[in-house]
Structure formats: structure tokens, C-alpha cells
Structure 1
Amino acid sequence: MPMQLTNKFRHSILALLALTKNHGNSEPLQTHEIEALQGLANRNLESLLTTLKRGGLVKSIRGSQGGYFLAREPEDITILDVFSCIEELDTLVSPKSTLPETIEKKLIQNIRIETYQAAFGILQKYTLSDLYHRQEKLKKVLMYYI
């Protein structure tokens, strides 16, 4: 089964991009502000943020003026960190390494393993900071065409 990027993962990235934009501000972002900034109508955002907090990617402040911050610098959080935090553990490991019965099955298994390694390499390569800067560049390009 190929690695899939779920809605949970995509919504987590969007929430983290909002927190990246807010990074350095003294005021945390509340859930409704994250939803507004990213156009999310996700009733499970609080649950996703709790998962990201347990994974050490965000921190929170309780209370009426509370909200969320990034727990680390945006350049220190890779997309693989987010994926590892949000997705089920069995999607993170290489395909099951049972011994194939035939040479052909061994060839196919090797391709699957290389595919997983390449995907994880790409997710490890990019950080929240990288995505945020790409997002800002795309906004400028889109504004130029309007």
C-alpha cells in the first residue's frame, strides 16, 4: 500500500503554517484564529493540536487568553516530524519485510522499499520554515496576476 497523505496530515500542516506565521509574537493563536487564517472548518482541529502537542511540536497556554505556539523554531520542525506525529505508526515503517517466495516478488519488494525511502527523504528535507517561505512566494505571484 503506498504512503498516503491524509486530511489529518494536511490540516496539521495548515495549522502549523498559521503558527509559523505567528512565530515570534507574544500572543498565542487560538483555535478559531488558526481556522480563520487557513480557511479550515475542521471540528477536529483541537484534537490535532493536542496530538501535535504530545509530539512536542506545539505548546499551549490554557485560559481565555490562551492558545498555541510552535514548541520549536520553524526551521527545526521537518515535515517528517509532523507526519510521524500525526499518522499511524504502521504507515511510517517500510513495507513488511517477509521473505518473498520468488525473485519477481523480491524485485517488487525492493521497489516498494526504495519508494518509502524516497518519500521519507522528501518529508525529511523540508521544514515548516521552507513551506512558509514557499507559501509567501506563491501569494506574491498570485497577487501579481490579480
Structure 2
Amino acid sequence: MKAWRLAAWGACLVWSAPEAAGSESLTEFCARAEAPQRCLTHQQGLLSCQDMPDASRHHCLSYYTPSLNCHRQRDSRHCEALSAAQTACGSLAGADRRQCVDARLPKPERGCAAGETCGDSPAESRTTALPLFE
């Protein structure tokens, strides 16, 4: 039952996003939420992945949704860069937004050969950015 409520809450956020109506900015929309920072990061991730098919949207969201607290992340430099990139790419959506965010993210500190994993997490183990479209 709890999972159903969370899914319904997420669906309400998607359907009521201000970009769909075009009436207010994302910041103004989330300012009225009980958790405005969480709302903002969630909406930023959704805007980045809205054009992805359902099969790959979950991975896209886990990569492009900024964390609320970068100090607790394994790679805090990447986390802070993702938050700044999402803010800088505020007017874009979908593939354009992913391309904008990817251009602003730092390159991995250690080199990775083609096909070699770069780290432990799925985001770190990717050698290339998520596809812009499928």
C-alpha cells in the first residue's frame, strides 16, 4: 500500500509539473511543496528523462536526479556538478537537457579503457553518457 502511495505521489508531480502548463517556473512550483528541495531535484530528474521509454527511465532518473546532500555521496564533486548543471540547464527538457547536463559534468578522475568499469556504482561504471534517444 505504501509503494502505491509513493507511485501515485510521483504521478501527481509529473501531471502537475509547471512546464506542462507553462504558467510558472519550476522553483515557484516547488516553493509551495512541503519539501521544496526534494520537489526541485525530483522535477529536474523528471525533466531530463521525460522522453525516455519506460524500460530505461529508471536508470536515467537514478543518474540525472541530483542528491539532496552531496556531502554524503561517494563522489561529492560529481554530485555538486550535477546539481549545478541541472540548474544551469533549467529551460531544456528531454534529450536536449541530458546533453546540456552531460556537457557540464566533470570527466572521470581516472581513465577507463573501453568496456572497463570505472567504479562501483552504476553511474560511475558507465563509460559513456546515457543515450540521448532510443
State whether TM-score is above 0.5.
no
Give the TM-score of the pair, scaled to structure 1. Answer: 0.27
Give the TM-score of the pair, scaled to structure 2. Answer: 0.28
Point out which structure has higher relative CO (alpha carbons under 8 A, 6+ apart): 1
Larger radius of gyration: 1
